[in-house]
Amino acid sequence: MGKLGVIIVAAGKGSRMGTAESKQYLQLGQKPILVHTLQLFQNIHEVNEIILVVGGNDVERCTGYVQSYALSKVTHVLAGGAERQDSVRRGLGALERDTEWVLVHDGVRPFVKREHVFECLVKAQDRDAAVLAVPVKDTIKIVDTEKRIQSTPDRRSLWAIQTPQAFRLSLLQEAHERALQDDFMGTDDAMLVERIGTTVHVVEGDYYNIKITTPEDLPWAEWILLNVRGEGQQ
């Protein structure tokens, strides 16, 4: 396998969480959420380097985490951009030139399982682009601005997309360049690859790989830490 780089994006403001401290720095058990996420990838042998993208005012604090938690694979701590996509693009620019594969992961998804990371990577190595996802459990409706239901997509074709998202690096770079040229903004990296005509494959993960987004996710995250990860108060 060629070199594997990981971009952890953690430059968001956490406005939906509404806490004074950005959500990626909230304590989960004994460590900040972001540190849990970083340790997951630090402990994957196949990962060559980790690029950590954070808010402009948080570079120093995160450089401190890299030292105090011995996150030796983190080679760069960079300031991100206004949107997630800008943060990923900055991360792409920092990867070692001979990197062949890249995983993009949200700093606020601390519970992804190793086996799912590997399954996603293996699929990408076979097909160039793969993302973790889970089948949607609810019935989803398309609703207009007046809150009137317009249609009901067939649930069997709906998946909730997660991270990591794994790509051949040259493909993701091209997708980001084209999005920038076209002034296109997407909410995940797969969207950018889809729009340049490359098929992105879905790998089924699990429902514990939550993106900690709103306040009710916090007690759920504590429960997962204790009962799924078995970490208790470590």
Ligand X SMILES: C[C@](O)(CO)[C@H](O)COP(=O)(O)O
Ligand Y SMILES: Nc1ccn([C@@H]2O[C@H](COP(=O)(O)OP(=O)(O)OP(=O)(O)O)[C@@H](O)[C@H]2O)c(=O)n1
How many CA atoms are closer than 13 Å to the CA of 174, on its beta-carbon side?
Answer: 13
Q: Is 13 a residue that touches ligand Y (CB under 6 A)?
A: yes
Residue nearest to ligand Y (CB): 12
Binding mask 182-221 for ligand Y (x = CB under 6 A): -----------------------------x-x--------
Helix (H, G, I), strand (E, B) or coil at 42: helix
Q: Two tokens at 182?
A: 């076209």
Q: Which amino acid, 102?
A: V
Partner from ligand Y, ligand X, none contacting 188, C-beta within 5 to 8 A by type: ligand X
Q: Which of 221, 213, 158 is nearest to 22 (CA)?
A: 213
Kindly tell me which of 74 and 112 has the beta carbon lying closer to ligand X.
112
The one among 106, 112, 176, 192 contacting ligand X by CB under 6 A? 106
With beta carbons less than 8 A apart as the criterion, state whether 73 and 42 touch. yes
Binding mask 193-212 for ligand X (x = CB under 6 A): ------------------x-
Partner from ligand X, ligand Y, none contacting 163, C-beta within 5 to 8 A by type: ligand X
With beta carbons less than 8 A apart as the criterion, state whether 106 and 211 touch. yes
DSSP string, 70-101: T-TTEEEEEE--SSHHHHHHHHHHHS-TTEEE
**Maximum pairwise Cα distance, the chain:** 52
Give the interface segment with ligand Y, choosing from 14-22, 38-46, 63-71, 221-229 (CB under 6 A): 14-22
Q: Residue count at the site for ligand Y (CB under 6 A)? A: 21
CA distances from 162 to 10, 23, 59, 194 (A): 15, 18, 25, 16
The one among 162, 166, 168, 175 contacting ligand X by CB under 6 A? 162
Q: Is 87 a residue that touches ligand Y (CB under 6 A)?
A: yes
In the DSSP assignment, the letter for residue 20 is S
Q: Is 39 a residue that touches ligand Y (CB under 6 A)?
A: no
Kindly tell me which of 53 and 120 has the beta carbon lying closer to ligand Y.
53
Binders of ligand X among residues 45 to 84 (CB under 6 A) are: 84
Q: Two tokens at 22?
A: 């950005």
CA–CA–CA angle 72, 188, 191 (5° rounding):
130
Q: Is 110 a residue that touches ligand Y (CB under 6 A)?
A: no
Using CB under 6 A, list all residues that contact ligand Y.
Answer: 9-16, 24, 53, 80-84, 87, 106-108, 211, 213
Using CB under 6 A, list all residues that contact ligand X.
Answer: 84, 106, 161-163, 187-188, 211
